Amino acid sequence: MLHLTELTERLRSRDLTSRDLVDAALARIEASGREGPLIFRALDAERARETAEHVDRARAGGAALPPFAGIPVTVKDLFDMAGEVTRAGSRVLDDAAPAARDAPAVALLRRAGFIVIGRTNMTEFAYSGLGVNAHFGTPANPAAPGEIRIPGGSSSGAAVSVAAGMAPAALGTDTGGSCRIPAAFCGIVGFKPSSTRISRAGTVPLSRSLDSVGPLAGSVSCCARLDSVLSGGRGEDAAPAPAPGLRLGVVGNYVAEALDDAVGEAFGATLNRLRGAGVEIIPVSIPEFDEMPTLNAMGGIVGAEAFAWHRELLETHGGLYDPFVRARLEASRGMPAADYILLLEERERVRAQVAARMAGLDALAMPTVQILAPRLADLDTAERATQVNRLCLRNTSLANFLDVPAISIPCQDTGALPVGFMLMGRTGEDRKLLSVAAGLETLIRKPQRTLGRSLPSHASLTAGLAPVPQPVSRDNLMM
């Protein structure tokens, strides 16, 4: 799929039609065979084609149209869409009433002219960074053809739909990394805004304190345009900030631990390119990050708020939950109210201290995820799945705890498994972060053909997951 700027220009010039785009998207989904139902919980092919034809007739007649009229997008399964049951990747809500109206984020996409072609699969109730779904199956990561590697989650189908060329953009959510983890694993861009920037109404919540709504797409520009639409704008792009003179703080503690060698090398080589282009790379230590394991004991804020929402459903429909997800929810059952209140207070302390440490910096930089996307076969026990899930969430969840915008941009060498380079900004300064990301995107994405030379300290970090040497089958795997 082309990027949004080129698509809008070609549609406006009638070099292609909306029906062309929708047909191409649906053809890719059909050609994916058994992957299609793993990526999508539902398709709305007939309505999408009818809407595309209506847009094409209006455009041919000279009608004034919204800026993105006729461009297909996909929507994560936890957003309300009028007349449909919102299941959030679960069987627990099968008997829920259909939504009366679109979630505001979905309504804004439609108002801007986007055509929703389907609901994408996700981790049940968004409670995992793996992208695995025990009920409906797990979409394979398209960045590793011939293998079955996890896509990352929880916005798994959203990321795969973009990476596989089934749509130029997708709507997701991010509570601990759910836009950025799958973006990093699948080799696309994922953006998490400040939590209140985009309406979360009409979504199945995971954590009301930490949830955010964000886009996944092929470029920073696409994410910036979608961010504008979703926050009530007209789809404006972000003006790229000139690279020379930008000041990036590179965190040397916590986020640099337990990195896979390939991730550390790709990240280090990217820092070298940025430094060579005039970006000031400033090593920083943020001791508050080292507190995260203690603060997140018993599930942290997410666990307490998720359990509160699910408590009654666990009693009435507990047998319908994925055991892995249910165990995570139940782990927070015993958190005292006093501990939860104190944790919220500790969060405000940490946010203030980290904000002070970021003074004078344009952004913090760190690897999005500690590891490369593992093979699904490696997650063959609950213990292993838990270990990998913690690694997936380790860096990304910092932005949610701090309530700051963050974006993941691919930085791997050509032909290598994807690695994400994450930038974190300040609360409410979402457009500034997007401008910084736009200014650095070309440098970050530049193919890395020579790795391991003149790297910063990240190169000495220990290896992560050991690869499995032979291909695997979906049969009998724990989904």
Mean pLDDT calculated for residue range 372-393: 96
CA distance 253 to 284: 8
Q: For residues 80 and 29, is the Cβ–Cβ distance under 8 A?
A: no
Cα 158 to Cα 118, 319, 376: the distances in Å are 10, 27, 18
Q: For residues 4 and 225, is the Cβ–Cβ distance under 8 A?
A: yes
Residue 162's nearest CA partner among 441, 418, 414 is: 418
Reported confidence tier of residue 447, pLDDT bands at 50, 70, 90? low
Reported as a single tens digit per residue, the pLDDT across 63-77 is 999 999 999 999 999
List the catalytic residue out of 18, 154, 155, 408: 154
Reported as a single tens digit per residue, the pLDDT across 148-169 is 999 999 999 999 999 999 999 9
Mean pLDDT calculated for residue range 80-97: 98
Reported confidence tier of residue 388, pLDDT bands at 50, 70, 90? very high
Mean pLDDT calculated for residue range 361-390: 97
Higher pLDDT among residues 446 and 319, named by residue: 319
What are the domain boundaries of the chain?
4-294+335-460
Reported as a single tens digit per residue, the pLDDT across 315-360 is 999 999 999 999 999 999 999 999 999 999 999 999 999 999 999 9
Helices marked H in 83-179: 104-111, 156-163
Reported confidence tier of residue 2, pLDDT bands at 50, 70, 90? confident
Residue given tokens 């060579």 in the structure block: 276
Orientation angle between helical segments 337-357 and 382-402, nearest 10 degrees: 60
If you ran DSSP here, which 8-state letter would residue 79 be given? B
If you ran DSSP here, which 8-state letter would residue 459 be given? G
Residue 10 exposure: Cα atoms within 13 Å on the Cβ side: 16
Mean of per-residue pLDDT scores for the chain? 93
Reported as a single tens digit per residue, the pLDDT across 274-297 is 999 999 999 999 999 999 999 998
Q: Is the peptide bond before 154 cis (omega within 30 degrees of 0)?
A: yes
Q: Give me the amino acid identity at 200.
A: R
408 pairs with which residues across the strands?
190, 422
Neighbouring residues of 212: CB distance < 8 A, sequence distance ≥ 6? 173, 174, 175, 192, 193, 194, 195, 197, 198, 200, 400
Q: For residues 26 and 243, is the Cβ–Cβ distance under 8 A?
A: no
Q: Greatest CA span in the chain, whole angstroms? A: 63
446 catalytically annotated? no
Helices and strands in the chain, H and E counts: 15, 11
List the catalytic residue out of 178, 209, 228, 408: 178
Residue 261 exposure: Cα atoms within 13 Å on the Cβ side: 7
Residue 247's nearest CA partner among 403, 445, 440, 400 is: 440
Query: How would you label 317-337 residue by residue, b for 16+ Cβ within 10 Å and e otherwise?
Result: beebbbebbbebbbebeebee
76 catalytically annotated? yes
How do 406-410 and 363-367 pair as beta strands?
Answer: unpaired
CATH fit for domain 4-294+335-460, picks 3.30.70.270, 3.30.70.100, 1.10.1740.10, 3.90.1300.10: 3.90.1300.10
**CA dihedral of residues 203, 204, 206, 211 (deg, nearest 10):** 0
Question: Of 39-43, 437-441, 455-459, where does mean pLDDT reach its minimum?
Answer: 455-459
Residue 301's nearest CA partner among 352, 354, 346 is: 346
Reported confidence tier of residue 242, pLDDT bands at 50, 70, 90? very high
List the catalytic residue out of 76, 195, 221, 397: 76
CA distance 369 to 406: 13
At residue 298, the pLDDT reads 87
408 catalytically annotated? no
171 pairs with which residues across the strands?
75, 215
